[in-house]
Amino acid sequence: MCQGRVAAPPLPLAPSSWGKLLQTLADLTGGSQTQHQAAPRPPELDTDSDYGSLESDSESVDDDPFEEFLCADVMQLIEQSLAEAKRGALRCFKLLVPDQLSAQVAEELLRLAASEPCGLRGAVLHLNVEDHKVCRAMDHIVVDCSLPPTFELTLVLRLEVGFWPKVQDLLTSGLSFTPGYRRALRLSPRFRIIKRKLYSPSEVLVEEC
């Protein structure tokens, strides 16, 4: 039984990422005139002029439309998980995300999936956030529940350290804020991805970005 978020449930369940992908390709090739509504967007993260969404809007390193579609879906699920974690594990009112982070994460996901027999469909993604050397598990995402996973990806995002957290501690020390919550946290543009092939457990790849 699959647990966690599922990016592409097995056919013929609907709606699904895989089903939406097939419909999209059919529309592009003229094979169907059916119109369908876009999937509802997940809760958005807080932004300012320097920080933006985790949803990828850049060109992928992989020209395969199947992979690009699934990667965009996975990025939306990551964004949703982080938005929900603000009042949970992260205990903050805002989570600011660097603009360049989305493109870099999407590029790495596609690159690491390119050599796999089922591509990104065979991935299970574990999402973690690292704060002062403590790694907190946020969520795990099954890209396609209809397939036995062939590899695991552990994405470790990092909170900014240094002057910014100290400023936030001062801002949240007043009575107007919920005790234990920070006003805002920032993700660092640097992250780590760990890849483990399930059919070759001894092979582990760690990418620092």
pLDDT tens-digit readout, 72-107: 999 999 999 999 999 888 888 888 899 889 999 999
Residue 166: pLDDT above 70? no
Encode pLDDT of 34-71 as tens digits.
Answer: 333 334 444 556 554 344 556 544 444 446 888 999 99
pTM of the model: 0.71
Share above pLDDT 70 across residues of the chain, in percent, rounded to a whole number: 63
* Residue bearing tokens 């990551």: 78
Radius of gyration, alpha carbons of the chain: 18
Alpha-carbon distance 172 to 78, whole Å?
A: 27
The larger pLDDT score, comparing residue 177 to residue 142, is at 142
Going 9 to 73 to 66 to 61, the CA torsion angle's sign is negative
Structure tokens at 134: 């403590």
The pLDDT value given to residue 165 = 53
The pLDDT value given to residue 57 = 47
Calculate mean pLDDT across residues 180-202.
87
Calculate mean pLDDT across residues 178-198.
85
Poorest-confidence range of 11-20, 59-68, 95-104, 139-148? Answer: 11-20
Q: What is the DSSP string of 31-99?
A: S-----PPPPPPPPPP-BTTB--SS--SPPS---HHHHHHHHHHHHHHHHHHHHHTTTTS-EEEEE-BH
Give φ, ψ of 27 to 5 degrees: -65, -40
- In this prediction, residue 154 has a pLDDT band, given cuts at 50, 70 and 90, of very high
**CATH code given to domain 5-208:** 3.90.470.40
Q: Which residues pair with 94 in a beta bridge?
A: 184
| Beta carbons within 10 angstroms of residue 106's beta carbon | 25
Encode pLDDT of 191-200 as tens digits.
Answer: 999 999 998 8
